[in-house]
Amino acid sequence: MISQLRGKLIAKSPGEVVVEVNGVGYGLQVPLSTFYDLPDVGEEVRLLVHTQLKDESLCLFGFLTQREKELFRLMIGVSGIGPRLALTVLSGISAEELERALLEGDVLSLSSIPGIGRKTAERMVVELRDRVAETRGRERMPHGGEEMMRDALSALMNLGYNRSVAERALRQAKMEKEASSLEELLRESLRILAKTT
């Protein structure tokens, strides 16, 4: 399985690029977000690759960032979303905005992307919200962060907040502000809860 290519960019057009590695030209499909940030033709490029074998053909999908590749792989795991539609999503919304929409359950933003109807957007939120929150949490929380999240959740529930509401506020707090202590995390979560209740 090919997971990364580094070589000379010999052709690029919206949605597709060709990278030459040791004399072999690899054609990759890319989202517009990657296309816009590519170097000029003739320069070196490094792309993270998702390889898909389907009907005896090999398809390569290229991304400049690990975040885009992860989101692509999460999306193609959702029923009704294939690789082409996943690329369309990443072409129509930035990775950061996509994560925000999934975490906040923003079905309106998701369904405004061409090819994504309301039902598909709702399915994306249901199936991907927690998985995106997990990956964000692993990236952003300091050492001991999981224990701090558990303690913060317990404290919010003791204050009378519903578990799912408290979890959502904690995820948002974690995303918006790097908390170095339980007190900071609670303070930020309570600020968010005050705005939403």
Q: How many CA atoms lie within 13 A of 157 on its CB side?
A: 11
DSSP letter at 4 equals: E
DSSP letter at 142 equals: P
Residues 2-34 pLDDT 10s:
889 999 999 999 999 999 999 999 999 999 999
Residues 113-148 pLDDT 10s:
988 999 999 999 999 988 888 776 555 544 456 778
Q: Rounded mean pLDDT of 56-60?
A: 87
β-pair partners for 4: 48
For a pLDDT cut of 70, what percent of the chain falls above it?
Answer: 92
Strands 24-29 and 16-21: antiparallel
Q: How many CA atoms lie within 13 A of 21 on its CB side?
A: 14
Strands 44-54 and 16-21: unpaired
What separation in angstroms does the CA of 40 have from each of 11, 17, 35, 45, 64? 9, 11, 11, 9, 14
Residues 187-196 pLDDT 10s:
888 988 888 7
| pTM metric for this prediction | 0.67
The gap from C-alpha 197 to its chain's centroid, in whole angstroms, comes to 28
β-pair partners for 17: 12, 28
**pLDDT band at 73; cut points 50, 70, 90:** very high
Q: What pLDDT sits at residue 151?
A: 84
**pLDDT band at 197; cut points 50, 70, 90:** low
